Amino acid sequence: MHPQHLFVYGTLRQALGHPMLAWLRQHARFVGPGRVAGVLFDLGRYPGMLCRDGGGWVKGEIWRLLDADALLARLDAYEGCDAASPRPHEYRRIVASVWLRGAGRLPAWLYEYALDTTGLPRIADGDYPAHLARRRRLAAS
């Protein structure tokens, strides 16, 4: 299966303005907000998710890939799961069923966390940018 969409839930979300977002915008087109059944964890400088029915929802964005092979190769390297990255890989690229607001379900690539999540703090609302904002407010108080 070769989906033509990508679901992003962490550092590549538009609200965060990561430098890699500019590259994503050159090679994909934003489709809209989406969500995936799963659980989101705070890994420190970035999040990790596990796809899991009944675990809640992970919020993110759906992008349509213009050149899927080139974009996914670059993202595999960014996520540390290409052939050149040391093992064990922290992430794996999988196909998941994502919900696009107003359009229903569609298959999309996403990067799922591949290591043990025991003891990792869960982001209960599944929204990484909102979680970062809460963390900043707590640190400032």
How far, in Å, are 75, 121, 135 from residue 31 at the CA level?
18, 30, 28
Contact 96, 7 (CB under 8 A): yes
pLDDT tens string 59-71: 999 999 998 999 9
- Tell me the pLDDT of the chain averaged across its residues: 94
Query: How high is the pLDDT of residue 1?
Result: 62
CA-derived radius of gyration, the chain:
15
Question: Which residues of the chain fall below pLDDT 70?
Answer: 1
Q: What pLDDT sits at residue 54? A: 79
Domain that holds residue 125: 5-140
For 20, the enclosing helix (H) or strand (E) is: helix 19-27
- Give the count of beta carbons closer than 10 Å to the beta carbon of residue 1: 5
Reported pTM: 0.94
In the block, tokens 């400032």 appear at 140
- Residue 47 belongs to domain with CATH number: 3.10.490.10
The structural domain count of the chain equals 1
